[in-house]
Amino acid sequence: MRRILVTGGLGQIGSELVPFLRDKYGKENVIVADIREPTDDVGPFVKLDVRKEEDILKILKEEDIDTIYHLAAILSAKGEQNPQLAFHVNIVGMFNILEAGRKKGVERIMVPSSIAAFGPETPKDNTPNDTILKPRTMYGVSKVTGELLALYYWEKYGLDVRGVRYPGIISWKAPPGGGTTDYAVEIFYYAIRGEKYTCFLREDATLPMMYMPDAIKAITMLADAPAENLIHRADFNIAAMSFSPKELVEEIRKYVDFEVEYKPDYRQKIADSWPRTIDDSAARKEWGWKPDYDMPAMVKDMIENLKRKLNF
Ligand code: NAD
Ligand code: SER
Total domains in the chain come to: 2
Same domain (yes/no): 132, 183: no
Same domain (yes/no): 189, 224: no
Tens of pLDDT, residue by residue, the chain (312 residues): 799 999 999 999 999 999 999 999 999 999 999 999 999 999 999 999 999 999 999 999 999 999 999 999 999 999 999 999 999 999 999 999 999 999 999 999 999 999 999 999 999 999 999 999 999 999 999 999 999 999 999 999 999 999 999 999 999 999 999 999 999 999 999 999 999 999 999 999 999 999 999 999 999 999 999 999 999 999 999 999 999 999 999 999 999 999 999 999 999 999 999 999 999 999 999 999 999 999 999 999 999 999 999 999
Same domain (yes/no): 49, 148: yes
State the catalytic residue, choosing from 69, 139, 153, 183: 139
DSSP strand pairing (30-34 vs 45-47): parallel
Same domain (yes/no): 88, 182: no
**Is 75 a pocket residue for ligand 1 (Cβ < 6 Å)?**
yes
Ligand at shortest distance from the CA of 163: 1
**Is 75 a pocket residue for ligand 2 (Cβ < 6 Å)?**
yes
Question: What CATH number does the domain containing 258 carry?
Answer: 3.90.25.10
Q: Report helix, strand or coil for 24.
A: helix
Buried b (16+ CB within 10 A) or exposed e, 273-306: bbbbbbbbebbeebbebebebebeebbebbbeeb
Residue in 5, 32, 35 to alter for ligand 1 test, most ligand atoms within 8 A of Cβ = 35
Same domain (yes/no): 80, 227: yes
Using CA positions, which residue lies closest to atom 6 of ligand 2?
114
> Ligand 2 centroid vs 53 CA: distance in angstroms?
25
In Å, what is the CA distance from 272 to each residue of 81, 265, 286? 17, 12, 30
Question: What CATH number does the domain containing 128 carry?
Answer: 3.40.50.720
Q: Report helix, strand or coil for 95.
A: helix
- Structural domain including 302 reads 168-209+240-310
> Ligand 1 centroid vs 99 CA: distance in angstroms?
20
**Is 179 a pocket residue for ligand 1 (Cβ < 6 Å)?**
yes
Number of the ligand 2 atom closest to the C-alpha atom of 178? 7
Closest CA relative to residue 306, chosen from 221, 202, 187: 187
pTM metric for this prediction:
0.98
Same domain (yes/no): 84, 58: yes
- CB 90, CB 78: distance < 8 Å: no
Same domain (yes/no): 258, 150: no
Same domain (yes/no): 222, 268: no
Q: Look up 153 and say whether it is catalytic.
A: no
Same domain (yes/no): 84, 189: no
> Ligand 1 centroid vs 101 CA: distance in angstroms?
19
Tell me the HSE value of 45 on the side-chain side, using a 13 A CA sphere: 16
Same domain (yes/no): 52, 108: yes
- CB 66, CB 108: distance < 8 Å: yes
What does the pLDDT read at residue 310? 96
**Is 183 a pocket residue for ligand 1 (Cβ < 6 Å)?**
no
> Ligand 2 centroid vs 75 CA: distance in angstroms?
6
Same domain (yes/no): 38, 181: no
What does the pLDDT read at residue 1? 77
Same domain (yes/no): 223, 91: yes
